[in-house]
């Protein structure tokens, strides 16, 4: 038993929590904007954004106000009923996208699970029960449920859990010929991330996405865009698909949608949604009034010219500072991504020190993520201040200095 008087420390985690995470040695206790503070009062500049989640920083005043107001009205009623915040949020998503219908859930994995089930169900109803093959890509990541982790292209996350779902095949990202070799009339869907996040912050080529759309049309397959990381302004547009002049059939959102409050969504068209009936799919918490009220405010704030143009401006500042740092250390081979989803690729000679770099960064008071074994990922608040960027880059510089000593 843990005494009520016992001081909560990092060791408490090792005693109580299932060991599926390896958290940092410090415990954050407060956040404001792009800065957080730990138990000892040490300040950190946050370039991780809670893994691309805190799109408006920590404890945004308008989100706090919206959550507080909604908490006094209605918390939860389940999907036996609908509610006004969910309907308003759905309208905002539909009016801003290709979609006509929305399904709300709680996490990116749940949104993708719904997308994959819908693709198979639609194809079985409209075409054939045998039209159930899903094409995904190596190094992709689509969630942690058994179905979504199997669709994801990283076997380290799906091995040793027993027989995997069948009908899933992986192609090479940005290689259309590898897709042409495996697509056929039994393919129900191709799922792709516009930017592979966990796979190393690798953007999809415009020609690749356009040809995927052509192949899906040719084989009556659905094109699913996983925008769990890229959606809601992360790239400088509300949705990353807008860069490709291609509409998906299904799109999934999470992370930035709630600005830190758990919520996700799957968007699709009337045509595809027409096969669904009550009871075919569902979730108890999906469309929760609290979550939808917060997400509605997130959309209102981000879906403006000022914020979306600001994403690109802030991205240029960060990349400029990273290039200045690299002139001194020559640790990076490439800086890639889009908007405020940025990947810093380490040289092979330094890639085995990525955890050391991240830990020294913590010590200097700046927080980054990793993406794969050799990429430092930045996914900060979309409204991070210039002064926070400059200060954070100074701290990163000092962290890299320590790596040399």
Q: What CA–CA distance (Å, rounded) separates 287 from 262?
A: 11
| pLDDT of residue 1 exceeding 60 | no
| pLDDT of residue 372 exceeding 90 | no
Residue range 69-80: mean pLDDT, rounded? 94
Question: 65 lies in a domain?
Answer: no
Of 255, 286, 302, which residue constitutes the final position of a domain?
Answer: 302
pLDDT, one tens digit per residue, over 141-193 is 999 999 999 999 999 989 999 999 999 999 999 999 999 999 999 999 999 99
pLDDT for res 8: 87
| pLDDT of residue 72 exceeding 60 | yes
pLDDT for res 4: 59
Q: How many domains does the chain have?
A: 2
Give me the domain span that covers residue 187. 74-302
Question: 67 lies in a domain?
Answer: no
116 is in an annotated binding site: no
284 is in an annotated binding site: yes
109 is in an annotated binding site: yes
Give the global pTM. Answer: 0.96
Q: Which of 278, 286, 253 is nearest to 85 (CA)?
A: 286
| pLDDT of residue 83 exceeding 90 | yes
Structure tokens that stand for 207 in this block: 């020609």
Residue range 307-333: mean pLDDT, rounded? 97
147/273 same-domain check: yes
Looking up residue 230, the CATH number of its domain turns out to be 3.40.640.10
Residue range 68-79: mean pLDDT, rounded? 94
Looking up residue 339, the CATH number of its domain turns out to be 3.90.1150.10
169/210 same-domain check: yes
369/294 same-domain check: no
227 is in an annotated binding site: yes
pLDDT for res 175: 98
Of 277, 302, 327, which residue constitutes the final position of a domain?
Answer: 302
| pLDDT of residue 46 exceeding 90 | yes
Percent of the chain whose predicted confidence (pLDDT) is above 70: 99
Question: 68 lies in a domain?
Answer: no
| pLDDT of residue 355 exceeding 90 | yes
134/19 same-domain check: no
Task: Report the DSSP beta bridge partners of residue 105.
Answer: 264
141 is in an annotated binding site: yes
283 is in an annotated binding site: yes
Q: How confident is the model at residue 403 (pLDDT cuts 50, 70, 90)?
A: confident
pLDDT, one tens digit per residue, over 187-203 is 999 999 999 999 999 99
229 is in an annotated binding site: yes
**Per-residue b or e along 31-60, where b marks 16 or more CB atoms closer than 10 Å to that residue's CB:** bebbbbebeeeeebbbbbbbebbbbbbbeb
> What's the first-to-final CA gap in the chain, in angstroms?
43
Residue range 84-95: mean pLDDT, rounded? 98
Of 302, 318, 352, which residue constitutes the final position of a domain?
Answer: 302
Q: How confident is the model at residue 308 (pLDDT cuts 50, 70, 90)?
A: very high
200/291 same-domain check: yes
Question: 245 lies in a domain?
Answer: yes
Question: 342 lies in a domain?
Answer: yes
Question: Are the CB atoms for 53 and 231 separated by under 8 Å?
Answer: no
pLDDT for res 3: 54
Residue range 112-126: mean pLDDT, rounded? 98
Question: Are the CB atoms for 241 and 308 separated by under 8 Å?
Answer: no
Question: 4 lies in a domain?
Answer: no
Question: 69 lies in a domain?
Answer: no
Task: Report the DSSP beta bridge partners of residue 171.
Answer: 137
Q: How confident is the model at residue 295 (pLDDT cuts 50, 70, 90)?
A: very high
pLDDT mean across residues, the chain: 96
80/201 same-domain check: yes
pLDDT, one tens digit per residue, over 227-278 is 999 999 999 999 999 999 999 999 999 999 999 999 999 999 999 999 999 9
353/208 same-domain check: no
162 is in an annotated binding site: no
């Amino acid at each position: 038993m843990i005494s009520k008087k016992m001081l909560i420390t990092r060791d408490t985690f090792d005693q109580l929590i299932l060991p599926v995470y390896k958290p940092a040695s410090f415990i954050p206790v407060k956040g404001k904007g792009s800065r957080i503070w730990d138990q000892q009062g040490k300040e950190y500049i946050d370039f991780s954004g809670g893994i691309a989640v805190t799109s408006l920083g920590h404890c945004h005043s308008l989100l706090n106000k919206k959550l507080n107001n909604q908490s006094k009205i209605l918390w939860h009623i389940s999907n036996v009923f609908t509610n006004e915040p969910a309907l308003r949020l759905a309208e905002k998503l539909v009016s801003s996208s290709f979609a006509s219908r929305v399904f709300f859930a709680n996490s990116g994995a749940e949104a993708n699970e719904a997308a994959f089930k819908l693709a198979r169900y639609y194809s079985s109803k409209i075409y054939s029960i045998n039209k159930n093959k899903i094409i995904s890509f190596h190094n992709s990541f689509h969630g942690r449920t058994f179905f979504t982790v199997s669709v994801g292209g990283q076997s380290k996350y799906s091995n040793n859990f027993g027989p995997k779902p069948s009908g899933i095949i992986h192609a090479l990202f940005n290689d259309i010929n590898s897709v042409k070799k495996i697509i056929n009339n039994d393919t129900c869907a191709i799922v792709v991330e516009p930017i592979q996040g966990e796979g190393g912050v690798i953007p999809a080529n415009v020609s690749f996405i356009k040809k995927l759309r052509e192949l899906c049309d040719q084989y009556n397959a659905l094109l699913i865009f996983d925008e769990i990381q890229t959606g809601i302004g992360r790239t400088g547009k509300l949705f990353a698909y807008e860069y490709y002049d291609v509409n998906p059939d299904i799109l999934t959102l999470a992370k930035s949608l709630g600005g830190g409050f758990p919520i996700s969504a799957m968007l699709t068209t009337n045509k595809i949604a027409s096969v669904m009936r009550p009871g075919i799919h569902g979730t108890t918490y999906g469309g929760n009034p609290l979550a939808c009220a917060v997400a509605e405010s997130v959309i209102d704030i981000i879906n403006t010219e000022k914020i979306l143009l600001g994403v690109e401006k802030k991205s240029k500042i960060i990349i400029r500072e990273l290039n200045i740092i690299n002139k001194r250390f020559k640790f990076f081979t490439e800086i890639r991504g889009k908007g405020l989803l940025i990947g810093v690729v380490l040289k092979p000679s330094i890639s085995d020190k990525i955890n050391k770099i991240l830990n020294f960064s913590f010590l200097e008071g700046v927080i980054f993520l990793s993406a794969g074994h050799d990429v430092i990922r930045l996914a900060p608040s979309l409204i991070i201040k210039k002064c926070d960027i400059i200060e954070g880059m100074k701290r990163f510089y000092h962290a890299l200095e320590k790596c040399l000593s």
